[in-house]
Copies of this chain bind each other. A is one copy, B any other.
């Protein structure tokens, strides 16, 4: 999996990294149980600080998306992802609401918004091959 960071962006590096790993899992390029690079090697690979990688991993662990073992290293949660609960859905709402408000203000229709969402959703969503659950 390729990580692309924009060092010019004003989005914190650890956030970009977190988002990319989330998208990797969501898209199926990272599968449950699959190993992630160690903090040290990932940091040196993409040329950023150890602490930054660590912070990203800690956030992902906190959401139960990954597990961090002292010996075995870092793996995508082998039991699969936690489902959306109320807390998650509230957070999503709070984040998406201002985006929708600004879109309405600029005259974007509900249809256009839905199309945009659908396009992005399908761009990320993995192809649903019926029997794609086997361990690699």
Interface residues of chain A, those whose CB is within 8 Å of chain B, are: 7-8, 10, 12, 19, 22-23, 25-27, 65, 67, 69-70, 81-84, 88-89, 92-93, 95-108, 110, 113-114, 116-118, 120-122, 124-125
Contacts and interface: CB of A to CB of B under 8 A. Distances in A.
A26 B118 contact: no
5 contacts: A7-B69, A81-B107, A92-B102, A96-B116, A114-B117
Contact of A19 (B12, B27, B101): B101
B22 A101 contact: yes
Given A27-B104, A83-B106, 7 more contacts: A19-B97, A26-B102, A81-B105, A93-B120, A110-B117, A110-B122, A113-B121
A86 to B, nearest CB: 12
Contact of A98 (B7, B10, B12, B19): B19
A43 to B, nearest CB: 15
Nearest to A98: B19
A78 to B, nearest CB: 9
Contacts of A26: 101-102, 104-105
B105 A99 contact: no
Contact of A117 (B82, B100, B106): B100
